[in-house]
Structure 1
Amino acid sequence: MSLYDGVDLRLNVPHSARMYDYYLGGFTNFAADREAAGQALAALPWLRSAARANRAFVHRSTRALAEAGLDQFLDIGTGIPTSPNLHEIAQAVNPRARIVYVDNDPIVLSHARALLTGAPGGRTAYVEADLADPAALLAAPSLRGTLDLSRPVALSLNAVLHFIPDGAGAPDGAGTRRAHAIVEHLKAALAPGSALVISHVTADFAPEEIARVTGIYHSAGTPLQARTHHEITRFLAGWTVLAPGLVPVPRWRPAGSDDTVVTDIEASGYAAVAVKP
């Protein structure tokens, strides 16, 4: 029996998670994904470096929060498993850590068993849900049965919010936009001491190249919206942003020789960690 039996992968349609897997050098991608990814790489040749830098940020931020005592993690927009996964990092620090992965991609669902293998003393769970419906996501029995939302939770929204574009006609720089409203809903459900981890694409450093990549993703059926430093800062509103602040991805507490050396332009994204007062 194949891992993908009974799963409609729509192999003829590019998917952002499989394209990201291709950038990282993975093998869970198909011809349509590689073709679209190739076009994106032609427009932004350093996309592979950006993907690796983002992956390194996920590792650093998870390790930092686990070392600070957080033992519950909610990772939304999990993507295709690439070891070490978030639970492996967290449970290496605290084997009793609990992790819930959330995604609405059928290929991630097909890999869920790999994500559910964690340290014996901890717990991992997978929830099939959509970030666009945060109420249903938070009500999922697997999430409620794994995480105690009355205690601090580390909420990871890494490289996912740029796939939630603003609604048509939304005023530029004013009002509550769709992505910000979703994040506020999630933040409100978490206890004091919880953390918000964000990485997000920006056009601040390479506007022409990011504009071309955005067009390629739109053509592939995946809306992509880069946001400015100011717009991404709004996701952190009301929470205490940890040092060094909202910075280019590779500048968030670089760990040294184990990190890929990437410039701000190559990263073309911001990252931050904030804590709920």
Structure 2
Amino acid sequence: MTGAQRDWAGPRSARVYDYLLGGGHNFAVDREFADRMVAEMPWVAHSAVVNRAFVRRVVHFMLSAGVRQFLDLGCGIPGVDPVHLVARQAAPETRVVYVDHDELAVAHAELLLDGDERATVLRADAADPRAVLTAPEVRRMLDFTAPIGLLAIALLHYVPNERDPEGMLTGYANRLAVGSFLALSHATFDVSPEPVKQAQGWMVDSDPVHPRGRDRIEGFFTGFDLVAPGLVHPGQWRNPVRPGPGAVGEWSFAGVGRKSSSTEGTA
């Protein structure tokens, strides 16, 4: 069975996420999977919305700090509030490179971005920074002498320990200019372990999830200075409408860090 056939045969996280956000770039198998999961765990649908709202706030924050280019790792399908359109509401000159390994997600993205000279999508393994950073599309679109917004939203919990997620991020961080930012959100057992374990069980046959503790997630920001309010739940990050105790979104931690000193490294 080819990779494309496998993508058609079973649900994939990128398309399930698109469906949960109200997008139209998904298949019946994804919708059926999502509906069954939400019937058992109603919080899942709203958590997707909370996570996407976090992305919008992150993009506007980085724009306010002067960032005009973004590298969106594990982007999924950029169909609902995609980074390039969110950013261009304030800064039309913004350039964006989306990266994902899912063949059909990339195909959807190519259709959505057709004719856009300041946004492109690369099919690559985001856990392989050398492959991403040396890709012609990336070198053409992004200027690594200027600040870049590196987005790893709901990505690293799909990277198992044996793939060395810390080393992955270091590979990117070493190429970023001072003043660049890293934003990420990551599943955790720390706050609501039982619901997260339940969700993890649902994803085992699709895209296995590897939740991690707060200390480990905070360690992903090595080389970056966490900006206020630090590592919090996605719905709480610079959100004037704070969710109350036990609110949806407490399945993960999220944060943004700024690179304040140079590090050496080449792609």
Instruction: Please confirm whether the aligned pair reaches a TM-score higher than 0.5, indicating the same fold.
Output: yes
Match of 1:213 among 169, 183, 199: 199
Is 2:147–2:180's contact at 8 Å kept on the other side of the alignment?
yes
Residue in 1 that maps onto 2:140: 145
Residue in 2 that maps onto 1:223: 208
- Superposed counterparts of 1:240-255, under 5 Å: 240-255=225-240
Unpaired segments ≥5 residues, structure 1? 1-6, 168-176
Match of 1:276 among 250, 259, 262: 259
Is 1:127–1:142's contact at 8 Å kept on the other side of the alignment?
yes
Percent identity at matched positions? 37
Q: Are 1:124 and 2:97 counterparts? A: no
CA-to-aligned-CA distance 1:87-146 (integer Å, 9 cap, x gap): 11112211111111111112222222313565xxx7112111111211101110000001
Match of 1:188 among 174, 196, 200: 174
Unpaired segments ≥5 residues, structure 2? 261-267
Is 2:37–2:202's contact at 8 Å kept on the other side of the alignment?
yes
Q: Are 1:115 and 2:98 counterparts? A: no
The alpha-carbon deviation at position 262 of structure 1 amounts to 7.3
The alpha-carbon deviation at position 29 of structure 1 amounts to 2.3
Residue in 2 that maps onto 1:266: 248
CA 1:213–1:124 in 2, change beyond 3 Å: closer, same or farther?
same
Match of 1:89 among 86, 89, 102: 86
Aligned counterparts of 2:244 and 2:29: Cα–Cα separation in 1: 28
1:48 aligned partner, one-letter code: A
What SS is found at the alignment partner of 2:70? strand
Is 2:173–2:223's contact at 8 Å kept on the other side of the alignment?
no
CA 1:70–1:130 in 2, change beyond 3 Å: closer, same or farther?
same
Aligned counterparts of 2:208 and 2:201: Cα–Cα separation in 1: 9
Q: Are 1:202 and 2:188 counterparts? A: yes
Aligned residues between the structures:
255
Aligned counterparts of 2:129 and 2:71: Cα–Cα separation in 1: 12
The alpha-carbon deviation at position 42 of structure 1 amounts to 4.2
Instruction: Name the TM-score, length of structure 1 as normaliser.
Output: 0.85
Match of 1:67 among 33, 39, 64: 64
CA-to-aligned-CA distance 1:191-235 (integer Å, 9 cap, x gap): 1111001111112221111112112211x2322111111111011
Instruction: Name the TM-score, length of structure 2 as normaliser.
Output: 0.88
